[in-house]
């Protein structure tokens, strides 16, 4: 068997295969629910109810989707240029760290601190990804390895700081930082609930990234480098500079997830700030086919599964791990769908 490239995939093929991948994902999820002794339709109904069955549930889903939009955008931008950024988790924590440093060390009004924390997070995330990109462009070091390892390095650095200079003296021994001032936190979108203006920033970021990718020279260069770096270089595109710009944009977007979690939700830095938002961003980006606007829909879908699975587990007595399996299965099927969109399988 061999693969043959499809020059111009039909619209039906480009849309139908990803839709089929999602259908196959829910079929697998239904089978797992049956193995757990539950009714598949009831299980999925409870997930939907838990994710969007009330105002509280819907806003909680949007709240959970906020960091996923940022990390999904970070991955989508990088993957579009074939820069395999697996380190969004490290960039997220870098953004959170700088947010805490600025928010707790600078005695400034909240209206000044909020933009300073956001800009600081952007810069920090970009710089974290800049190192692996320079190693890739100058020395040919595989960025998958370097960005992945940076996730663990950053967690160890954060752990060291939380047990040392950043530890809250009033935290009763818990490894957490001091809280940023109340007036330096992102306002709530709905009073009394957790959804904050980080969600609005995430939506705006998706629009900006879409404009960059579709309406600017940089977006054209990113797509050209991703399609064929050698051909782009032959055409006069500075591939190295494009990769550096992509790294700064991608890392900065992932860092905004850390900024939004600290400034909008937690108010403080802890080692469990992210339950894997950086890694889940890969799933979000792939489900969106690397489309920035699709990332918003994909992130809400993924967040809905996680939020809905919590309520479903209590009502149907099905483990919440079904959410993780659904997302992993969706990723595998989506990768296969993308492959079959661009190639046809031939025998012989």
In our burial notation (b when 16+ CB lie closer than 10 A, e otherwise), range 212-232 reads bbeeeeebbbbebbbeebeeb
Residue 8 has a pLDDT of 82
pLDDT in tens, 164-191: 999 998 888 889 999 999 999 999 998 8
What would the DSSP string read from start to end of 210-275?
A: HHHHHHSHHHHHHHHHHH-HHHHHHTT--HHHHHHHHHHHHHHHHHHHHHHIIIIIISS-BTTS-S
pLDDT in tens, 139-170: 999 999 999 999 999 999 999 999 999 999 88
Residues 51-57 have a mean pLDDT of: 92
Residues 194-207 have a mean pLDDT of: 96
Residue 5 has a pLDDT of 83
Which residues form the domain of 132?
A: 69-288
Query: Under a CB-based contact definition with an 8 Å cutoff, are residues 296 and 69 in contact?
Result: yes
- 165 domain-assigned: yes
Whole-Å CA distances, 214 to 16, 218, 293: 24, 9, 12
- 219 domain-assigned: yes
For residues 60 and 56, give the distance between their C-alpha atoms in angstroms, rounded to a whole number.
6
pLDDT in tens, 57-114: 999 999 999 999 999 999 999 999 999 999 999 999 999 999 999 999 998 999 999 9
For residues 72 and 85, give the distance between their C-alpha atoms in angstroms, rounded to a whole number.
11
- 62 domain-assigned: no
With a cut of 90, say whether residue 7 has pLDDT above it: no
What mean pLDDT is reported for the chain?
93
For residues 329 and 327, give the distance between their C-alpha atoms in angstroms, rounded to a whole number.
5
- 112 domain-assigned: yes
Among 7-21, 142-156, 300-314, top mean pLDDT goes to: 142-156
With a cut of 70, say whether residue 348 has pLDDT above it: no
Residue 146 has a pLDDT of 97
- 159 domain-assigned: yes
For residues 236 and 319, give the distance between their C-alpha atoms in angstroms, rounded to a whole number.
54
For residues 326 and 305, give the distance between their C-alpha atoms in angstroms, rounded to a whole number.
8
Spatial CA neighbour of 316 closest among 22, 51, 41: 41
With a cut of 90, say whether residue 326 has pLDDT above it: no
- 28 domain-assigned: no
Residues 33-61 have a mean pLDDT of: 90
- 109 domain-assigned: yes
- 43 domain-assigned: no
Number of separate domains in the chain: 1
Looking at per-residue pLDDT, the higher value among 45 and 345 belongs to 45
Token readout for 346 is 């031939």
With a cut of 80, say whether residue 252 has pLDDT above it: yes
């Amino acid at each position: 068997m061999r693969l043959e490239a499809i020059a111009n995939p039909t619209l039906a093929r480009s849309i139908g295969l990803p839709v089929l991948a999602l259908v196959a994902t829910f079929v697998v999820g239904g089978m797992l629910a049956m193995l757990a002794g539950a009714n598949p339709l009831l299980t999925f109904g409870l997930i939907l109810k838990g994710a969007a069955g009330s105002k509280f549930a819907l806003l909680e889903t949007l709240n959970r989707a906020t960091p996923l939009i940022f990390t999904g955008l970070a991955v989508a931008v990088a993957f579009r240029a074939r820069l395999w950024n697996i380190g969004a988790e490290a960039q997220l924590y870098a953004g959170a760290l700088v947010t805490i440093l600025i928010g707790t060390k600078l005695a400034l009004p909240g209206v000044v601190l909020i933009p300073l924390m956001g800009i600081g997070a952007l810069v920090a995330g970009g710089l974290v990804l800049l190192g692996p990109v320079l190693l890739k462009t100058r020395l040919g070091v595989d960025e998958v390895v370097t960005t992945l390892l940076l996730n663990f390095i950053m967690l160890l650095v954060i752990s060291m700081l939380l047990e040392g200079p950043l530890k809250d003296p009033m935290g009763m021994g818990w490894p957490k930082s001091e809280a940023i001032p109340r007036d330096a936190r992102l306002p709530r979108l709905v009073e009394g609930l957790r959804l904050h203006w980080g969600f609005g920033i995430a939506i705006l970021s998706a629009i900006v990234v879409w404009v960059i990718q579709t309406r600017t020279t940089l977006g054209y260069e990113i797509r050209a480098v991703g399609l064929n770096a050698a051909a782009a270089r032959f055409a006069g595109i500075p591939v190295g500079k494009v990769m550096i710009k992509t790294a700064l944009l991608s890392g900065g977007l992932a860092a905004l997830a850390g900024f939004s979690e600290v400034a909008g939700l937690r108010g403080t830095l802890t080692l469990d700030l992210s339950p894997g938002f950086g890694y889940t961003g890969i799933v979000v980006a792939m489900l969106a086919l690397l489309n920035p606007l699709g990332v918003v829909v994909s992130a809400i879908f993924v967040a809905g599964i996680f939020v809905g699975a919590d309520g479903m587990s209590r009502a149907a007595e099905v483990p919440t791990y079904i959410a993780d399996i659904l997302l992993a299965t969706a990723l595998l099927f989506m990768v296969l769908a993308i492959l079959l969109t661009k190639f046809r399988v031939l025998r012989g």
